[in-house]
A and B are shown apart, each in its own frame.
Chain A
Amino acid sequence: MDLEQLRKTAAEVVARDDVKYLIGWKKGSYGSRVAPAFVEDAASVIELIFSPSCTANLATYLTLVEKTPLPRGQETDKRKVALMAKGCDSRAVVQLLVEKGIHREDVIVIGCPCPGMIDQSLLAGKYGDTEERSEVRWNGKDFTLVRGGDEIEIPRNDVLAEKCRLCRHPNPVISDYLIGEAVKEWDPAEDSGVGELEAKDVDGRGDYWEGQFSRCVRCYSCRNVCPLCYCQDCILDRLNPTWINRAVNFSENTAFNISRAFHLAGRCIECGECERVCPANIPLGKINRKMAREVREKYGFEPGLDPDAEPFQASFKPDDPEDFIL
């Protein structure tokens, strides 16, 4: 990744009058963590980075702006937001465009081709973690961990995030600026997580998910972090009528998780954020990927690729499969 080019482009973009800020990455507070950066002026672009730690999906922030009532006479800030987008971030942007969650003219996409991101928990598990800042770099084929004065070679598959192993679109699908060269796409690994579950019988799967969903603490981080969960009025916060009780038990947790997954069927762009942030380690990605595959195979639809597509659940084809109908 050419940081020089990134910062130069970023400086150029944030200097524009019609740009509010740029959402990118900066160093985090400890270890090899990174944190989202909101860059408002050209002087701050120096803090921008792009490294294998930038696993999260920044497209979330496009729809996370709370709209508070404005004092009389003030107008909403209609300036554009610039976004550093990997392959998966850009797919989220496209899907938001499809759903008219955002408008194309409101966003500037700075495409960052992505050679694959690390999973921090895998890294910490295998190579330890430190309070002191460290850095992970791409070194062509694998990763290098720079910690203290040491450089540790890390085989790619040791710490590669699951979503990246399965990734089919590492390059941004839309962009206004492209930083560096497009990366060579790799063959997605077989989705063994979903495969293993499919091999079980329905009761076996029920037991598996009961174990998982029972742990859910309903912190809603999966909902909040998801770039495509952006309803102003979420069914989960509704009290009247209360579809899903707020009580935390297996029944309500399952209802919550099914509705979350259902609302993302045909929309999920498989960025794996829900699974990454879950403090209870529930493999939410498996459900999402299963649904994404069903949609792909049965309906021939893949979300987040074509900004002019019809939203999957708000459209139909006369010849949709109906073998399940009595």
Chain B
Amino acid sequence: MTADNPYIPYFATIEDSWFETGGDRCIKTFKVVFDDPAVRDSWNHKPGQCAMIGVLGEGESMISISCSPTEGKFLRFSVMKMGKVTQALHKLEAGDKMTVRGPYGNSFPVDDWQGKKILTIGGGIGQAPLRPIVEFVKSNREKYAGLTMIYGARSAGDLCFKGEFDQMSKRDDLSCHLTIDIEEEGWDHNVGFVPQMLLDLNPSPENTIAVTCGPPIMIRFVLENLKKLGFSDEQVYTTLENRMKCGIGKCGRCNAGCMYVCKDGPVFSYSVLKDIPEAFA
């Protein structure tokens, strides 16, 4: 992305990569650093933003940046192995290069949320866009009234960022709740679906912002349950995802109703989203 051509990507080298989950649709996390020191310094993303990452000769894919800018001068992407581009990305190892352009889209208004309690509700790979919030709040903990994280996946093996949760549950200034769909051996956290766990925890809506991301079906029930718990539409945020090609509002396909997910999103307040039926298509 040069000054006069937003389609030209930067090159970034993979510093480290590891698998978060296994299986056919495994998730691999890449920690990348821009090759150009100038880009490294000028790059400034906010929690919730995305970037177009890709492999030359294969294509590009819009992936959320799963680290907070407070973590350091690097980027993290957690990529599920799905199509042509993500398969190519999965073949990359530490030392390989990928292309990155961005950051794109709006972000979670974390500055406006100061002084409030933050509740994140994630499912599966949906934790990736939520992780920057968690990290951001963790490093600016004194500015926020509280942090609760609910995160679930199909099985223990499908949970992303597992290594980080142990440490988090040891901290007493935040609470971390994990759940899996079906009981399995060696699992000492909750068993059940995320929306149900939300009801069980019964968080108070007072001075709280709830952010959710996950599979569409989970989001639907989480939104219902948040309503039951007394959250107003303005207190609830979610992110959308659609097929994208350009990332900058030109190629046309990512709109949900009149909202271009790449530019007006991916972060939406439910008070906006509830009037856009296509968002839940």
Cα of A51 to Cα of B83 in the assembled complex, Å? 48
Contacts of B243 in A (CB 8 A): none
Give A240's nearest chain B residue, CB to CB.
Answer: B84
Contacts of B83 in A (CB 8 A): 239-240
**0/1 per residue, A239-259, Cβ < 8 Å to B?**
110000000000000000000
B83 → chain A, closest Cβ, in Å? 7
Give A239's nearest chain B residue, CB to CB.
Answer: B84
Cα of A239 to Cα of B57 in the assembled complex, Å? 13
Tell me which residues from 66 to 84 in chain B have a Cβ below 8 Å from any Cβ of chain A.
Answer: 83-84
Contacts of A239 in B (CB 8 A): 83-84
Give B84's nearest chain A residue, CB to CB.
Answer: A240
Give A242's nearest chain B residue, CB to CB.
Answer: B84
B277 → chain A, closest Cβ, in Å? 15
Cα of A106 to Cα of B115 in the assembled complex, Å? 64
B87 → chain A, closest Cβ, in Å? 8
B13 → chain A, closest Cβ, in Å? 26
- Count residues of chain A with CB under 8 A from any CB of chain B: 2
B24 → chain A, closest Cβ, in Å? 15
Cα of A240 to Cα of B58 in the assembled complex, Å? 10
B30 → chain A, closest Cβ, in Å? 21
B217 → chain A, closest Cβ, in Å? 11
A98 → chain B, closest Cβ, in Å? 35
Give B87's nearest chain A residue, CB to CB.
Answer: A240
Contacts of A240 in B (CB 8 A): 83-84, 87
Contacts of B84 in A (CB 8 A): 239-240
**0/1 per residue, B77-98, Cβ < 8 Å to A?**
0000001100100000000000
Cα of A240 to Cα of B87 in the assembled complex, Å? 10
A185 → chain B, closest Cβ, in Å? 49
A139 → chain B, closest Cβ, in Å? 49
B280 → chain A, closest Cβ, in Å? 13
Cα of A240 to Cα of B84 in the assembled complex, Å? 6
A244 → chain B, closest Cβ, in Å? 15
Contacts of B87 in A (CB 8 A): 240
Cα of A239 to Cα of B87 in the assembled complex, Å? 12
Cα of A239 to Cα of B243 in the assembled complex, Å? 15
Cα of A89 to Cα of B87 in the assembled complex, Å? 44
Tell me which residues from 223 to 239 in chain A have a Cβ below 8 Å from any Cβ of chain B.
Answer: 239
**0/1 per residue, A176-219, Cβ < 8 Å to B?**
00000000000000000000000000000000000000000000
A186 → chain B, closest Cβ, in Å? 49
Cα of A239 to Cα of B84 in the assembled complex, Å? 7
A36 → chain B, closest Cβ, in Å? 26
Give B88's nearest chain A residue, CB to CB.
Answer: A240
Cα of A239 to Cα of B83 in the assembled complex, Å? 9
Tell me which residues from 255 to 289 in chain A have a Cβ below 8 Å from any Cβ of chain B.
Answer: none
A245 → chain B, closest Cβ, in Å? 13
Cα of A39 to Cα of B84 in the assembled complex, Å? 43
Give A241's nearest chain B residue, CB to CB.
Answer: B84
B270 → chain A, closest Cβ, in Å? 23
Cα of A240 to Cα of B83 in the assembled complex, Å? 8
Cα of A239 to Cα of B85 in the assembled complex, Å? 10
Cα of A239 to Cα of B86 in the assembled complex, Å? 13
Cα of A239 to Cα of B58 in the assembled complex, Å? 10
Cα of A93 to Cα of B18 in the assembled complex, Å? 54
Tell me which residues from 100 to 125 in chain A have a Cβ below 8 Å from any Cβ of chain B.
Answer: none
Tell me which residues from 56 to 87 in chain A have a Cβ below 8 Å from any Cβ of chain B.
Answer: none
B225 → chain A, closest Cβ, in Å? 19
**0/1 per residue, A142-155, Cβ < 8 Å to B?**
00000000000000
A235 → chain B, closest Cβ, in Å? 15
Cα of A11 to Cα of B40 in the assembled complex, Å? 72
Can you report 5 residue pairs joining A to B where beta carbons are below 8 Å apart?
Answer: A239-B83, A239-B84, A240-B83, A240-B84, A240-B87
Which 5 pairs, one residue from A and one from B, show the smallest C-beta to C-beta distance?
Answer: A240-B84, A239-B84, A240-B83, A239-B83, A240-B87
